[in-house]
Chains A and B, each alone.
Chain A
C-alpha cells in the first residue's frame, strides 16, 4: 500500500496553484516582483496569516473560532488602554467628550504590557474552549457569543473611539524592516515554523490531530481529550491578541472596530489550505499557502487597479475554487 499518485497531487496541488499564480502575476504586472510590492504583499498577508495559525489548531481539533476578529479589536484597544492607565475604567454614559491626543502614561513597562494583553487573549480562548468542551456546545455557537461579547466590550469600553499613543517599539512590530524583511512577516513565518514543529513533532500536537480525527478513538488510545479540546482556542486567542497588538502598532493607536470579519478570512485561508472542517486532517504548511494564495490574488487585483468590490467576488470564487480543487484531487473518498 504505497501512497497513490493522486494523493500526492491532493497534497501538493495547492503549491502548484500558488506557483501558477505567482507566474501569472509576474506576467500580468511588471510591478509584481518589485521589492515594495512583495514586502507589501507579505506584510498584509501576515496579519491574516497569524490569525489563520491559531484557527488551524482549532479546525484541526474539529472546532471553529469566530471570536478572533473581535479579539483583535479588543486586544488592540486593551493594549492602548494599558498604556493610558485607563485600564478597567468605562467612560461616562453619554460619552462624547473629545480626549484630544491623550497623554501616554504606561501602567506596565513595555514587555509586560504586551505579555498582559497576550495573556488576556489566551484567557478568552480558554473560556470559549472550556465552555464548548464542558457543556458540549458546538464551538460555532460558543465562539459566536464570545465574538459578540468581545466586540461589544471593546467598543463600549471606549465608545468606539480609537485611543492614541502607541510607542514606536510597537510600531516597529508592524513597520520594522530588519534585513529588509517586514517585521510582521518575520513574526508570522517564525510562528508558523514553531506551530509546524509543534503539530508534527510533539505528542501533544499529534494528540490534537487524534482528538480531531475521532475523540473516542483517541480516548481509547489513552488520550484525555480535555486539554486537546481546549488548548486550540487558547492558541487562537493568543494569536488574535498578538495581531491586535501589531495592528495597534500599524495604526499608531488602539481601535476597537479593527478586525471585523477577519475570522472569516482566517477560516477561508485555513480551508483553502486543505485543512478539513471536520477535523483531524490538514497542516500548517497548507494554511500558510492558503494565506499566500488569498493575499496574492488580492494583491494582483490591486496592481491591476481592479476596485474593491470585484475583489470581494474574486475572494468568494477562490474559496470555492480551491476547495473544489481539493475535492476533485482527493476523490478516493465516499464509500
Chain B
C-alpha cells in the first residue's frame, strides 16, 4: 500500500516540475511566433541580461526560503549598494562638484567593499532573527525600510551620475557577444546549485529548512545556517546592486522598488516551498525566466505597462493555483 501512495506522490512531483518546463517551452514558442527575430542570438542574449539582475536576488532569496525564511530587504540592499558604489566613485559630491569621478580607492576594492557591506546587512538580518528571536518577515521588513532610508539619506536622495568604466562593464560589458552580467549570473547559478546539491552545507541547509529541531538533535546548528543564508542573500543583493548601477550608469536610491516581491514570486513560481526544505536554485531560475518571458511577450503584444501589470497579476495567480493543483498540500501549501 505504501508503494502505491509513493508512486502517486512521485507522479505528482514529476507532473508539476514537468509542467513548468512545458510552460517555458510554450512561452518560447509563442514569443518566437510573435516576433520572428525572437530566438536570434542577439535577442536571447538581451533577454539573458535582462533576467540577470532579478536573477541574482532570486538566487539569494532561494537560499532564504529554503531555510523557511523570507527576505524582504533584498531590493533595498540592492539600491543601497548601488548608491554606496556611486558615492565611493564620486567622493567629490560632498565637496560640491557632482559629476566628476573621484574614487576614494580603486574600483575593484570598491566592489569588494560594497559586497562586504551587502553581506554585512544580510548578516545583521540573520542576527536579529536568531538572537533577538524576531520573525523573519518582520525583521527583514525593518531592514527593508531601514536600508532604503539609508540609501536615500547618504545620497541626499539625489541620483549619482556617471560611474567609471569598470562599473559600467559589470552592467553593460560584453564578452564576445555574451553580456558579462549573464555570464556572472549563470556561473552564480552553477556554483549555488553545486553548493546545494553536492556539499554538506547544502544538505544540512535543507535539513534545517525542513525541521530545525530535528536538525539540531542531528548535530547541525540551525542558527549558523539561518545567519548564513541571510548573509548569502545580502551578498547577491549587493552584487545585483553593482551590476544594476553599472547598467544604468547611475547610483540611484530609487532603483528596484518592489523587486523583493518579484524575487519571491519567481522563487515560488519555480516551486520552492514556503515551508522550507524543498526546492532549489534551478527551479527558481525557471521561475525568473517564466516571469521574464511573460512580461516580454506582453510587451511584444504591444500591451502598455499598466495593463501588463494587471495581466501579470492574473497570470501569476493562475500559475500558482495550477502549481498547487499539481502537488496537493505541496510546494505552496500552508506550513
Chain A residues close to B by CB (< 8 Å): 62, 64, 66, 93, 131, 135-138, 140-142, 144-153, 155-156, 159-160, 264, 267-268, 271, 276-278, 308-317, 319-320, 323-324, 327-328, 331, 333-334
Contacts and interface: CB of A to CB of B under 8 A. Distances in A.
B264 interface: yes
Interface stretch (B106-114, B140-148, B168-176): B140-148
The residue among A141, A155, A312 with the most chain B CB atoms within 10 A of its own CB is: A141
A309 B307 contact: no
16 contacts: A135-B324, A145-B313, A147-B261, A150-B313, A152-B309, A152-B313, A156-B307, A159-B304, A159-B306, A264-B144, A276-B135, A312-B148, A312-B149, A319-B138, A327-B134, A333-B133
Given A140-B274, A144-B261, A315-B145, A324 B309 contact: no
B274 A268 contact: no
Nearest to B311: A152
Given A145-B320, A313-B153, A138 B334 contact: yes
Interface stretch (B91-99, B192-200, B231-239, B325-333): B325-333
B317 A142 contact: yes
A131 B309 contact: no
Given A138-B332, A152-B310, A327-B133, A146 B317 contact: yes
A152 B332 CA distance: 24
B135 A277 contact: yes
B-side interface mostly: helix
A276 B133 CA distance: 12
A99 to B, nearest CB: 17
B334 A323 contact: no
B325 A146 contact: no
B217 interface: no
Q: Which 9 A-B residue pairings sit nearest by Cβ, starting from the closest? A: A149-B313, A316-B146, A152-B310, A312-B149, A152-B309, A148-B313, A313-B149, A156-B306, A145-B317
Contacts of B307: 152, 156
Contacts, number: 162
Given A142-B317, A152-B311, A313 B146 contact: yes
Contact of B132 (A137, A153, A323): A323
B152 A312 contact: yes
B64 interface: no
Given A136-B333, A136-B334, A152-B310, A319 B135 contact: no
B243 interface: no
Contact of B128 (A64, A160, A320): A320
A146 B22 CA distance: 25
Contacts of A309: 149, 152-153, 156-157
Contacts of A159: 304, 306
B142 A320 contact: yes
B268 interface: yes
Given A316-B149, A324-B132, A324-B134, A138 B313 contact: no
A160 B305 CA distance: 11
Nearest to A314: B149
A132 B304 CA distance: 29
Contacts of A264: 141, 144-145
Contacts of B310: 148-149, 151-153, 156
Contacts of B145: 264, 268, 312-313, 315-316, 319
